[in-house]
Structure 1
Amino acid sequence: MKTIAFIPVRGGSKSIPLKNIKEFCGKPLVYWTIKAAVETKSIDEVIIATDHEQIETEVNSFGFNKVSVYRRNSSNAQDSSSTESVILEYLEVRELDKKDAFVLIQATSPLLSAKDLTAGIKMFDKQEYDSVLSCVLSKRFFWKGNGDPINYDPYSRPRRQDFEGIYMENGAFYINTVGKIKESSNRLSGNIGICLMPEYTDVELDEEDDWQRAEILMKKYILPEQTKKKIRLFISDIDGVLTDAGMYYSENGDELKKFNTHDGMAFQLIRESGVKTAIITSENTELVKRRADKLKVDYLYQGKRDGGKLSAALEICEKEGVTIEDVAYIGDDINCFELLSAVGLAACPSNALRKIRNIPGIIKLSRKGGEGVVREFYEEVLAKIL
């Protein structure tokens, strides 16, 4: 039997226009749930159901495998449309075995991970439950509008550590069989099992404030887990990363570059963590050599264009006895593409070229080149894994 992940992503949103492809932690929002589904080995196909051409273009640009786009009917993509309506629409046009597992995933749950989906599918596969949904355990006290308590006795208030709490849907995923969804016209049916997710995954992305809170949680809990790699070598580009890519000249015609001192401290902190450092650039100037000396980098390769950057990195790896998977690299332009696509941990400034920003799995930082982007990369990513 197949296991199919289904992610409805409509274009309309009153609170936040085109919410599903609005940037979230450096990627379109829907990217994160697609990534979680793709990385779940027990999921065979990932279907993105959308009515919007721009969303379809974004999804296709991610380059994920086992992902396809289904163009849903506009009649089932209105504010009043239920999620069940597009599920049933898809199941009417797609021939699937009634025993196939169908995993509904909400694009507005970016804190969902492959680990969570795997746990839910394992629970469902045991056949102890007819359907499964994700929940969080809330240890908050709830009341009705008429002043009646829902889940505790206010005259015998329990301590948090002694309070059993109450399970609350977080909307991340729902699992059922194709046949039972068709029979009940509902994502859930029969004996329902609860798959518990961490309490911080209860966020709902309806307003701008929700967005900011969710990004903070993402950076705290999810991104560090996804970047837990054994980094042995850090490499940086020069122009557009350590500088703003501007071209400055003195009255005598000497070329000048503007560097950020915060990046200098980042190199020092990385070096003190026991990680080798390098600069690989297409430039070939005495100015860059002096900056590299100031930063005390272990390796400097200049005049490396196109595939030359990857070749230089592989040469360093051979000297250090590490693999390209042990390398972290920040780049911003087309001549960085090959190396960024090969390393274990890739990052880019916020103003990098679109082709670079769309490399699968790349970390897009919030700062622009020359604004301390290496320092941000160290503080937000490397410091948490070194």
Structure 2
Amino acid sequence: MRWVAFMPLRANSKSIPDKNIRLIAGRPLFAWSLEQAIASCCFDEIYVATDSPRIRSNVLIQFPTGVSVLERSAETCTDMASTESVMLEFQQKIAFDVICLIQATSPLTRAENFRIAKQKFLANNLDSLLTAVPSKRFFWTKTGAAINYDPANRPRRQDFEGWLMENGAFYFTRKTLLAETGNRLGGRIGIHEMSPETALEIDEISDLAIVEQLLLQRQQKFDRMPTTRIRLFALDVDGTLTDGGMYYGSDGEALKKFDTRDAHGLQLLRESGIRVCVLSSENSPAVAARMKKLKIDEYYPGVKDKFAMIEQKLPSWGVALHEIAYIGDDLCDLRCLQRVGLAICPADAVLEVLRHAHHVCLRSGGHGAVREACDRILDINRNLSEK
């Protein structure tokens, strides 16, 4: 069976302008669930369909590999057009047996949700599947009629089995069902239960702040570790590869202090197939000499906007932002740390960087922090390979 994931994104959003590419917890809204779909390894191909050049550009920046972007017709982008209309349009272009419709407005979806749902779909020979959350609320009609309980025998909450509420995170649909009925749900229907907080979809401005806090809390809970292999390690220099001190020789030449343990860690990364890239805002002969000694070809001095440089290099590197680890210690590194898959900082980084780091090293810059980061990356990739 050929499984494909599909996320339709349109340019116009009535409630929140540019909603789909709006930054939430440091990343575009669409990127959260799309990244988890990639990490799940459930799909043969993953597609985004859009009518917006800006969205297309954002998707390709976030995911230069692993996601294909298709044109979406104007007819399927009107306020009155159904989601099924764009699914049927997609069906005319791409071959599949099962399609997974992913909603960008549900960024709390995790990779294991896709995996568990797929197992259930196959085990029960389903035709379609929806996601839902448990609810123990009591519902009434506008005319005052109780829907899901008897008011004369009001159950205690702990005794009330409750209902399942569709949360719209994603749907599985067989091609045959979609073609025959024009609907995403039908035939033998299954339900994948998700955690209660995923009931919240982003439809209003107020939803953004709530979901952002949930994302940040979840990142802390799971140690904010990547769910896909790290393929590139980018480094700051001063305060990271060095101790940040200012040393001068008798002739006035600026000197830098490096740690030999860091050099060995970087060599281990490269031997494992991970690219190493060093970016510095300065243009230091001492750093250039050290990079030559370490045989690091991708050294970029005099970079004032490090994240812009990384974005520029993504297509030639052939990696996605979530496949990059970055280590930095100061505010000039913050934008990179907020956008990559694994953000690392030395123990003596500035407070704002410490708050945004996924992993804070036990060692300081120039004293083995980079070696610790290299070991952490190798452990992550090793653990992911064993799963």
Coarse TM-score class (shorter-chain normalised): 0.5 to 0.7
Partner Cα distance (1:208, 1:349) in 2: 31
What residue in structure 2 maps to residue 8 of structure 1?
Answer: 8
SS at 2:145's partner residue? coil
**8 Å contact kept, 1:346–1:363:** yes
Distance 1:371 1:4, change over 3 A: same
Q: What is aligned with 1:198?
A: 195
CA distance in 2, matches of 1:215, 1:207: 13
User: Measured at CA, do residues 15 and 125 of structure 1 come closer, stay the same or move farther in structure 2, by a change above 3 Å?
Assistant: same
Partner of 2:241: 280
Query: Offset of 1:158 from its aligned partner?
Result: 2.1
Q: TM-score, normalised by structure 1?
A: 0.68
Answer yes or no: is 1:178 the counterpart of 2:175.
yes
Q: Mind listing any 5+ residue stretches in structure 2 that lack a counterpart?
A: 227-233, 249-254, 281-304, 314-320, 362-375, 377-387
CA RMSD between the two structures: 4.0
Whole-angstrom distance in 1 between the partners of 2:152 and 2:328: 54
TM-score, with structure 2 as normaliser: 0.68
Measured in 2, the distance between the counterparts of 1:374 and 1:344 equals 15
- What is the percentage of aligned positions where both structures have the same residue? 34
**Paired residues for 1:147-158 under 5 Å:** 147-158=144-155
Whole-angstrom distance in 2 between the partners of 1:129 and 1:200: 26
Offset, 1:302: 3.5
Q: Give the equivalent residue in structure 1 for 2:47.
A: 47
* TM-fit CA distance, 1:170: 0.5
Structure 1 counterpart of 2:209, one-letter code: Q
Residue 154 of structure 1: how far off its partner (Å): 2.5
State the distance in 1 between where 2:164 and 2:102 align.
19
Match of 2:382 in 1: none
Residue in 2 that maps onto 1:372: 351
Do the aligned partners of residues 343 and 82 (structure 1) sit closer, same or farther apart at CA in structure 2, a change above 3 Å counting? closer
Letter in 2 for 1:184: T
Query: CA–CA distance in 2 between the matches of 1:62 and 1:127?
Result: 35
CA gap 1:335/1:22 in 2 versus in 1, 3 angstroms: closer
Residues 324 and 344 in structure 1, CA contact (< 8 A), matched pair in contact too: no
Cα deviation for residue 374 of structure 1 reads: 2.8
Distance 1:348 1:282, change over 3 A: closer
- The number of equivalent residue pairs is 307
State the match for 2:318 in structure 1. none
The aligned residue for residue 220 of structure 1 is 217
Identify if the C-alpha distance between structure 1 residues 147 and 330 changes in structure 2 by more than 3 Å, giving closer, same or farther: farther
Using the TM superposition, give the Cα deviation of residue 123 of structure 1 relative to its aligned residue in structure 2, in angstroms.
0.9
The DSSP-based 3-state class of the residue aligned with 2:203 is coil
Q: Distance in 1 between matches of 2:139 and 2:279?
A: 47
Q: 1:134, 1:171 within 8 Å by CA — same for their partners in 2?
A: yes
Equivalent residue of 1:4, what SS? strand
Deviation by residue 1:226-269 (Cα, 9 ceiling, x = unmatched): 6248xxxxx99587xxxxxxxxxxxxxxxxxxxxxxxxxxxxxx
In the TM superposition, residue 184 of structure 1 has moved relative to its aligned partner by 0.8
Residues 330 and 346, structure 1, Cα contact 8 Å, conserved in 2: no
